[in-house]
Amino acid sequence: MNNQAQQNIENLLQQANIVINGSRPWDIQVFDERFFSKVIAKGTLGLGEAYMDAWWDCPRVDEFIYRSLANRLKEKIRVGHQELWLFLRSCIINLQSHTRAFMVGKTHYDINAILYEHMLDRRMTYTCGYWKSAVDLEQAQQDKLDLVCRKINLQPGDRVLDIGCGWGSFAQYAAQNYGANVVGITISQEQAMRARQRCAGLPVEIRLQDYRDLDEKFDHIVSLGMFEHVGYKNYRTFMTIARTCLHDSGLFLLHTIGSNESAIATDPWIEKYIFPNGLLPSIAQIGSALEGNFIIEDWHNFGADYDRTLMAWHGNFSAHWGDLQNYFDERFHRMWSYYLLACAGSFRARQTQLWQIVLSKYGVPGGYTSLR
C-alpha cells in the first residue's frame, strides 16, 4: 500500500516540479513513510498533520504550497471523508450561530497573547498590511489603518462601529489620528481586555459582544478581518444588521479575505487546528448578501499583499521562538509555522484574495472617489 501511495504522491508532485528528497528549497524531505498513505487518505488534513508530526519538512514550505496550488494539485486528490463530513455538517448546522459565536475567540484569539505580541506589529494588527509604499510591517499596517480612515472619509467626532475590533489597533488609530469616537466589538475576552488597555484615555468603548446584538446608529462602520467568521448562512443577517446600524449618509468598509469560488466548508486542517467554523466568502456570496442592503461604491483587491504580511509575521514568529518556546511546545511551533507559510503560499498562488469593499445605503451623491 505504501509503495503505491508513494508512487501516486511522487507522480502528483512531479506535475508541480516538486521532487521528494530533492535539493531545491521547495522539494520536500520525507522522514516517515506513513506520510504517503496519510496524504492519500486524508488530503490536506493529512498533509498538515504529517508536518506537525515531523514526518516531512521543507526549507520553504511557502514555496512548496505555492507550487502545489498554482499547479492545482489539490483538485487531483480525491475528496476524503473529513472534507465530505465538513460539507455535510455545514449544510445541516449553522456553524456560526449566535450560540457558537464565541468558539473561535476561545480557540484562536484567547491563547497566550504573548504569541501575538511577538508576531504582529506594535499595534497588534492581525489583518493584511498595505504594502503599496511600505518597507516594513509597521509601516504597512499603519498605511492600512490610514487607508481605511480615508476611504470612509472619517471626520473628527464621527461615531464609528468596529465589528471585530481585535486588540484595538483601528480604534486606537482612528481616535488618536482622526478624532473619532469608536465602539469596538469582539468575541474574544483576551482581545477585549487588551483593547481596553490599549485605548485607555481615548474616546473608545470596547465590548465583548456578538454583532447580532447590535441595535444603535453610527456614522460609519468598519469590519477588518472578521467576516471570515460569519458563515454563509449568516451573510445576509450580517449585512442587514450593518445597514440598520449605519446612518443614511454613512459608509461601511468591509475588509475580508475572499475565495475565488463559493464554498460552504473550509479546508479541514484550517478548520481543525486554526479557525474552527471559519469560511471564506466569495464575490457571489457577498453580492447576494448585499442585494437590497447596500450599494457597492468600491471594491479593492490587494490579496498579493497578504503574502508579504504573512511572511513578515512568520519572520517575527521564528525570530522570537526562543522566548515563545517557554509557553508553547514544538508541535505548536510546527503547527503555527505551517499555518502562516501555507497561507502565504495560497495568497502567492492567487487562490485566496483580500478585498476592501466600500458600501453605502443609497449611493454617494455625485459618486464615490476611490482611494488607493
What are the tens digits of pLDDT across the range 311-350? 999 999 999 999 999 999 999 999 999 999 999 999 999 9
The residue out of 46, 78, 110 marking a domain boundary is: 78
Three-state DSSP at 240 gives helix
Mind listing the pLDDT tens digit of every residue in the chain (372 residues)? 468 889 989 998 999 999 999 999 999 999 999 999 999 888 899 999 999 999 999 999 999 999 999 998 877 665 555 554 444 444 455 555 555 555 655 566 767 889 999 999 999 999 999 999 999 999 999 999 999 999 999 999 999 999 999 999 999 999 999 999 999 999 999 999 999 999 999 999 999 999 999 999 999 999 999 999 999 999 999 999 999 999 999 999 999 999 999 998 888 899 899 988 889 999 999 999 999 999 999 999 999 999 999 999 999 999 999 999 999 999 999 999 999 999 999 999 999 999 999 999 999 999 999 999
C-alpha cell at position 14? 512531479
Q: Is 368 within a domain?
A: no
Cβ contacts of 235-241, under 8 Å, gap ≥ 24: 235/281, 235/285, 235/286, 235/288, 235/289, 236/288, 236/289, 236/293, 237/212, 238/211, 238/289, 239/289, 239/290, 239/293, 239/294, 240/293, 241/211, 241/212, 241/214
Q: Is 176 within a domain?
A: yes
Q: Quick one: 235 and 328 in the same domain?
A: yes
Q: Is 166 within a domain?
A: yes
pLDDT at 246: 98
pLDDT at 87: 41
Q: Quick one: 51 and 193 in the same domain?
A: no
Split into its structural domains, the chain has a count of 2
Q: Quick one: 26 and 112 in the same domain?
A: no
Q: Quick one: 63 and 116 in the same domain?
A: no
C-alpha cell at position 316? 517575527
Q: Is 83 within a domain?
A: no
Is 343 annotated in the active site?
A: yes
Q: Quick one: 74 and 105 in the same domain?
A: no
C-alpha cell at position 122? 506594535
pLDDT at 72: 86
Three-state DSSP at 102 gives coil
Q: Quick one: 13 and 107 in the same domain?
A: no
Residues sharing a CB contact under 8 Å with residue 218, sequence separation 6 or more, in sequence order: 159, 160, 161, 183, 245, 246, 247, 250
| Domain carrying residue 54 | 2-78
Residue bearing cell 488530503: 43
pLDDT at 174: 98
- CATH code for position 220: 3.40.50.150
Catalytic residue among 58, 128, 245, 343: 343
Residue 326 CA neighbour count, 13 Å, CB half? 5
pLDDT at 2: 65
pLDDT at 106: 59
pLDDT at 88: 40
Question: pTM of the entire structure?
Answer: 0.92
Instruction: Determine the Cα–Cα distance for residues 278 and 232; give it in Å rounded to an integer.
Output: 10
Q: Is 87 within a domain?
A: no
Q: Quick one: 65 and 158 in the same domain?
A: no
Q: Quick one: 71 and 127 in the same domain?
A: no
